[in-house]
Structure 1
């Protein structure tokens, strides 16, 4: 037993000194983490989607009915493969391997487009050559996007924990980088959309064949697959190690559909899908082509992609600082604004300003929906529910994209625009209802 006035080592204390029974230890510092994996993932996405974007826009113009069937098969397979994707990511051992596996389906799709461009391939055989890879791409795309959401959430969490551990003396310190990480990835993706829209148009205008273009795109896609192979493994957390059977995975997705917070996010997810379908098919086929001509598609969509790319980065960063809901308001206003312009003006001849304005407004909205909705999903549905939440997100988004595209031949432009506007209004209403707000990630 220690005597009064005596230190722990037995030496007497100096006058005025007091013994502290609890010596101070260094404060724990989390493992160092940076945003480098997010940029690495962005580069991989840039290369993979630099190949897909021009191919997707050229499918219908080069292949006619087969192109429409290919897009429909792609997005419906992407939508309906969602229930098994979480189990697939678990089977592949985590999001990194799933990202690589998903990207390889993009490469197979590019090779199929090269084959059907060869003159010696009979037209009937083109269906056999293109449609199965389209279905495979749909499954792979769902796998890729779900794995991206899981990977981004883990990277964000590791950086946030490291930053908070450096500021333990300030209990008010709060960091949240989910929006930023998602914004970085989407910046690279939309940058690919911008650059390759212009590059492919220039290449085809110079007299190069579509097969030559697809060979170049396939090489870029292969480089993207290799880049994702070199991606650092996602940080591991205890909840990520939970193993689920296929039945448990399916049941978790079913129960998420009954979750109150998820139901409030559903209108945002549906709006994102409708807006992307409108961008992919309606603007190009019903506004740009009849008003300006096909030669303007690349320029208008490149402008939309540029706004989308910059907006993804900016809105992701800003929403981390000021909150998700002020940024969502920008999405509501721009999406509704674009719809109102179309409904009021129709499609006048030589409507250059209108076409660019609508594409820009919907591009801004797409940046908001993709970046902020992804961040909100990762915030509200922590592991092990994160993968299931992103699988549902990808499925419903893809379904609405396919649905909006397929409605083109059957519904007039005004009705499709009204459907998009209605989904935006519903999303605005549900977003304004007070509900549970998740605490910062621990």
Structure 2
């Protein structure tokens, strides 16, 4: 919603108040009224809203399956599963630079979404025979398709949002924000349903009891290369193959259904706008965007914020791969991973909504600091806590703290990029995607080779360095120490002294 001059919300129309009842009506400013829509405009408005709901539902089904399966990789496919996830994000980095604009121009926005969703289905299908030669190729397919899928989704929501604003006579930026808010309401909810499916399926039958020898190797003592055996002790008991097949079958159906829904029920973007000029917000080719991305790294703020952006990927990878394996699967059993990640997802979703108004009240810096403190508290717990079934609540406290902090990183780092890089959004957010993906790659690539103690030190290192860089950005920004050009844009680091 926009703010009027008195600080009240409005929908794009000014409220006028007759301060003097004796003022002739002819001299009063005209009162804005809601736009009267024609029958054709009402139908178009309905179809736009219908498409937003359909796309949001399709992504809800898709990520209910993918995110939940990814959370289990370190437990059910130790080694090959996390290596495949690292390869996935490496492919995503390459895809971001070259594929989205080209594919959208060739296939159109709708069919790019429908096709790229199938890349996720291929990865889930590989879970029926999880080996390096099945997981890694399908992870590459998924990674290459993920960037154009997200770009086409963003293009669709942005363009129909602009058209919707024209129809109803409201500010298009407000409408686009509402549409993205609705989409992410569905998206965040996928953590709950997908993890509920996995835990329900894996909990069927009798779950193996954890022995004292097994529990000694959990938590801070956990080493993934001991997953298969440590002497005669198995640190993680893999679920029965039949349960994995059942779970993978459900997820595969959901992901295929997502593609079918988009292909069958989403209207082409050309029904509402001219699609040919909207594949890229600035019209840059993949190579031009790549050059702009690397040129943007000359910005002092970008250099300082890189560690915090990498941290965003590292912390998401850690909670989904390392915490689930070292604490939950090892301490309770694989069947409990979904339940703990539901707690993470619910806290993340609720706080994502709550922190935006909180930033408006107290400012950005206290909220970032709070998130760092919450992560630090969770890390201290993981260093000192020995996971056993007797302290069940602790298994949920850590993901609750982590999910609350993650809500800050996911919403406010995005917002920070928009604030400190005005007029440079495409290159700035390309850097954001690049460095966050590198954070994922670092975490997943080291999962199988490092013990949990080492991983926790890496996590701490990125958190500390990232926050130092962020505090320096805030200090420079508030003191206005950074030289700027005539357009008010900060000078590149190699131009500051010239």
TM-score by length of 1: 0.73
Residues 263, 35 of structure 1: alpha-carbon distance in 2 compared, 3 angstrom cutoff: farther
**For the residues of structure 2 that align with 1:183 and 1:418, how far apart are their CA atoms?**
35
- The question of 1:308 aligning with 2:348 is answered yes
Provide Cα deviations, 1:45-91, integer angstroms capped at 9, x if missing partner: 21111111232234344444432332232222223433224544654
SS of the equivalent of 1:433 reads helix
Written as runs of structure 1 = structure 2, the 5 A alignment for 1:3-402 is 39-88=53-102, 91-92=105-106, 97-114=111-128, 116=129, 126-148=131-153, 182-206=180-204, 209-229=243-263, 230-231=265-266, 233=269, 242-316=282-356, 319=359, 324-325=364-365, 327-343=367-383, 345-350=384-389, 351-377=391-417, 386-402=425-441
SS of the equivalent of 1:362 reads helix
- Could you tell me whether the CA contact under 8 Å between 1:183 and 1:317 is conserved in 2? no
- 364-373 vs 63-72, greater mean Cα deviation: 63-72
Q: 1:299: Cα distance to partner?
A: 1.8
**For the residues of structure 2 that align with 1:422 and 1:386, how far apart are their CA atoms?**
28
SS of the equivalent of 1:435 reads helix
Structure 2 counterpart of 1:14: none
Q: 1:321: Cα distance to partner?
A: 7.7
Q: 1:372: Cα distance to partner?
A: 2.5
TM-align CA RMSD:
4.3
**For the residues of structure 2 that align with 1:152 and 1:329, how far apart are their CA atoms?**
33
Provide Cα deviations, 1:168-203, integer angstroms capped at 9, x if missing partner: xxxxxx986887655543432332122221222212
Residues 434, 231 of structure 1: alpha-carbon distance in 2 compared, 3 angstrom cutoff: farther
**For the residues of structure 2 that align with 1:328 and 1:387, how far apart are their CA atoms?**
24
Residues 69, 292 of structure 1: alpha-carbon distance in 2 compared, 3 angstrom cutoff: same
SS of the equivalent of 2:67 reads helix
Which runs of 5 or more structure 1 residues have no equivalent in the other structure? 1-16, 118-125, 168-173
**For the residues of structure 1 that align with 2:299 and 2:49, how far apart are their CA atoms?**
31
- Could you tell me whether the CA contact under 8 Å between 2:199 and 2:336 is conserved in 1? no
Structure 2 counterpart of 1:418: 457
Q: 1:44: Cα distance to partner?
A: 2.3
- Could you tell me whether the CA contact under 8 Å between 2:83 and 2:444 is conserved in 1? no
Residues 175, 86 of structure 1: alpha-carbon distance in 2 compared, 3 angstrom cutoff: closer
Q: 1:334: Cα distance to partner?
A: 1.9
Q: 1:106: Cα distance to partner?
A: 0.9
- Could you tell me whether the CA contact under 8 Å between 2:64 and 2:191 is conserved in 1? yes
Residues 158, 257 of structure 1: alpha-carbon distance in 2 compared, 3 angstrom cutoff: farther
Structure 1 counterpart of 2:236: none
Residues 65, 219 of structure 1: alpha-carbon distance in 2 compared, 3 angstrom cutoff: same
- The question of 1:427 aligning with 2:466 is answered yes
**For the residues of structure 2 that align with 1:157 and 1:332, how far apart are their CA atoms?**
37
- Could you tell me whether the CA contact under 8 Å between 1:35 and 1:155 is conserved in 2? no
What count of residue pairs does the alignment treat as equivalent?
Answer: 402
**For the residues of structure 2 that align with 1:263 and 1:35, how far apart are their CA atoms?**
40
- Could you tell me whether the CA contact under 8 Å between 2:371 and 2:405 is conserved in 1? yes
Which runs of 5 or more structure 2 residues have no equivalent in the other structure? 1-23, 36-40, 206-241, 481-486, 489-498
Q: 1:308: Cα distance to partner?
A: 1.6
**For the residues of structure 2 that align with 1:38 and 1:380, how far apart are their CA atoms?**
30
TM-score by length of 2: 0.66
Residues 191, 371 of structure 1: alpha-carbon distance in 2 compared, 3 angstrom cutoff: same
Q: 1:360: Cα distance to partner?
A: 0.9
- Could you tell me whether the CA contact under 8 Å between 2:371 and 2:404 is conserved in 1? yes
- Could you tell me whether the CA contact under 8 Å between 1:51 and 1:220 is conserved in 2? yes
Q: 1:403: Cα distance to partner?
A: 1.2
SS of the equivalent of 1:407 reads helix
- Could you tell me whether the CA contact under 8 Å between 2:71 and 2:324 is conserved in 1? no
Residues 355, 177 of structure 1: alpha-carbon distance in 2 compared, 3 angstrom cutoff: farther
**For the residues of structure 2 that align with 1:318 and 1:154, how far apart are their CA atoms?**
29
